[in-house]
Chains A and B, each alone.
Chain A
């Protein structure tokens, strides 16, 4: 019955989430997800629904499994030796771990932005054009240029780099690099964008710009963001999920989680009593 006690509050929280976001269809549905790194279990029976066209924040203390969960969604954990995932993660009803799903296609549908800005050591143009090029999305040079331009525009970087597209992307500032990386993810027209602490290496001004951008992108994409900053989660997300020691403690509309958490651990964490 340990299983039930671990997941019970989650289901309640999800239900409350539905009440708060009644019109949002579910984009990602995770059920009883367990992740093991070799002998060590990093996630225990996580079940979570992520709604479409919204920002879902995953919060929790370091090592609580929120990044592990994020990386399970686009199967980045495949690259980790000895990593095993059980349970079901559905993207539009399809199990992402199904044999018929090619991780290459999955990762084109589910883009990812990492903690540290990691542009390729190539030009700004090449950084954005790489995804469309390997997937054969653009049929000609003009179309590729159009994709690069619109991606950079949507990432709010176009005006800053339009005149230096052919200079190295690594020469940009940290915040610009992170927006470049977001443009690179957008360029392959993903449905979901996963962000793993995208602002932890940035100064407050660059952070504010990224947060604005996340808010704009929410209209077109389903965004899941891992963050250490409670304030950031409160600012950008509509739904928040709190992880602790590999378990999902509570999930629900952000307003409710921050004002009226059901679990005492959530309460302690968001009020800064541990973390």
Chain B
């Protein structure tokens, strides 16, 4: 009787459990599906972003150089003052000669040639003559970039199919360029100039060297300030400071500072470093100071959590053999926390590398056509260079904007790799 009563109830219990089991499995499947969907969406956005930047920017790394023999006509260059001569016109006439054309009396044709030749060729001639005045009267060969509009035609971004009055170059200029290319005077190659030159008003002469050097100098200032101060502050707060209302207040404030919009740090830097301490504006020093302020909370938070993750048994072990608190922290706890500290520090530096807004507040958004002359000289940095070029009207700057973003991303990837490698190295040591 009892058996008969038990068996059906046991069966029904199993049925209830199984019915619920299906629901439970379905729930898990659903959650996994959402997770996969989220990953797919995130990856496709990343692919779109990278794809767009690369397709827009890769053409910057190809450039078109023209090589022409130029006769340095002694009648047109004053030996006493070689700077006064119109070298661009000499280049234009040489190119016209190469094309088998002669200039008309109004200089219309040479003017049109100058629209497709970079004035860099003229600068090169001037430099040659200055260094060696004996060249006057002789024929020299110069190689330099074509104007960015001409390069865009070669890159098929300015198309002949477009009606003539809607494009920057007319049919005659396009014909000339085809002819120059066919004759071998114009050659294409890797654009080393983009990496070895600094900003310029002419897109074909603009490069990112000044911005790269500016960024590195600024990061050096940021790193030397933010990392030691941040790590030591975190160590004091975590290991030495008494735990009371005041330290709680400080902790809350540090966490809040990490969330303060970066442009506010720019305002602070403007008020404190530039207006009050008279640090030269637009310099790597002031930029580094501002970014150091901005990075400090992140470094402190990362260090504190790395210190918290060190097991208390290590502290007890060190204290137990009679180490002082300072010895305990600096011999054992901090070295063990180092991988976490380094990762946090490098990630906050990578963040600082990409920061633009606070730098706009301290005057870094300026045209700097060279490498900074030291930590107090005028400088520009990569993200600001991107910002400046994005605002430029010439079409040639558009591809350069994307190319500068590629350079910036390469730097980010290098820094993140460094973070991973450092972490691995330190972890192996322990």
Contact = CB atoms under 8 A, between A and B. Distances in A.
Interface string B303-325: 00000000101111111111110
B251 to A, nearest CB: 15
Interface stretch (A101-109, A211-219, A222-230): A101-109
B321 A76 contact: no
Contacts of A119: 317
B318 A135 contact: no
B332 interface: yes
A112 B324 CA distance: 15
A107 B318 CA distance: 10
Nearest to B327: A134
Interface stretch (A85-93, A157-165, A181-189): A181-189
A135 B242 CA distance: 27
B322 A108 contact: yes
B314 A112 contact: no
Contact of B319 (A79, A81, A188): A79
B296 interface: no
A107 B322 contact: yes
Contacts of B318: 120, 130
Contacts of A61: none
B320 A111 contact: yes
A255 interface: no
Contacts of B313: 114, 116, 118
Nearest to B313: A118
A188 to B, nearest CB: 6
A42 to B, nearest CB: 18
B350 interface: no
B136 to A, nearest CB: 74
B322 A76 contact: no
A25 interface: no
A9 interface: no
Given A81-B243, A120-B332, A134-B327, A184 B321 contact: yes
Interface string B196-234: 000000000000000000000000000000000000000
A134 B322 contact: yes
A105 B321 CA distance: 9
A74 interface: yes
Contacts of A135: 322
A120 B322 contact: no
Contacts, number: 63
Interface string B224-253: 000000000000000000110000000000
A142 to B, nearest CB: 21
B289 interface: no
A144 B318 CA distance: 18
A104 B317 contact: no
Interface in B231-277: 242-243
Given A116-B313, A120-B314, A120-B332, A107 B320 contact: yes
A121 interface: yes
Contacts of A184: 317, 321
A135 B322 CA distance: 8
A261 interface: no
A107 B316 contact: no
B276 to A, nearest CB: 40
A116 B430 CA distance: 19
A170 B199 CA distance: 56
Interface centre among B318, B321, B332 (most CB of A within 10 A): B321
Greatest chain B CB density within 10 A among A81, A104, A187 is at: A104
A131 interface: yes
B307 to A, nearest CB: 15
Interface in B279-321: 311, 313-321
Contact of A134 (B242, B314, B323, B336): B323
A104 B323 contact: yes
Interface in A58-117: 74, 76, 79, 81, 104-108, 111-114, 116
Given A120-B332, A121-B336, A134-B327, A108 B321 contact: yes
Nearest to B336: A121
A20 to B, nearest CB: 31
Interface in A181-237: 181, 184-185, 187-188
A114 B321 contact: no
Nearest to A75: B319
Contacts of B324: 104
B317 A118 contact: yes
Contacts of B316: 76, 79, 112, 114, 118
A168 B318 CA distance: 17
Contacts of B322: 104-108, 131, 134-135, 188
B323 A114 contact: no
B320 A130 contact: no
B321 A188 contact: yes
B340 to A, nearest CB: 14
A121 B327 contact: no
Nearest to A170: B430
Contact of B320 (A81, A114, A134): A114
Nearest to A118: B313
A130 B321 contact: yes
B330 to A, nearest CB: 11
Nearest to A128: B321
A108 B327 CA distance: 14
A267 to B, nearest CB: 35
Interface in A216-265: none
A81 to B, nearest CB: 5
A120 B323 contact: no
B310 to A, nearest CB: 10
B134 to A, nearest CB: 71
Given A81-B243, A104-B324, A134-B327, A118 B314 contact: yes
Interface of A: 74, 76, 79, 81, 104-108, 111-114, 116, 118-121, 130-131, 134-135, 181, 184-185, 187-188
Given A107-B321, A134-B327, 8 more contacts: A76-B320, A112-B320, A113-B320, A114-B320, A120-B317, A130-B323, A131-B321, A188-B321
12 contacts: A76-B316, A79-B316, A79-B319, A104-B324, A111-B321, A112-B320, A114-B313, A119-B317, A121-B430, A131-B322, A134-B321, A134-B323
Interface of B: 242-243, 311, 313-324, 327, 331-332, 336, 430
Q: Which A-B residue pairs are the 4 nearest by beta carbons?
A: A108-B322, A118-B313, A131-B321, A112-B320
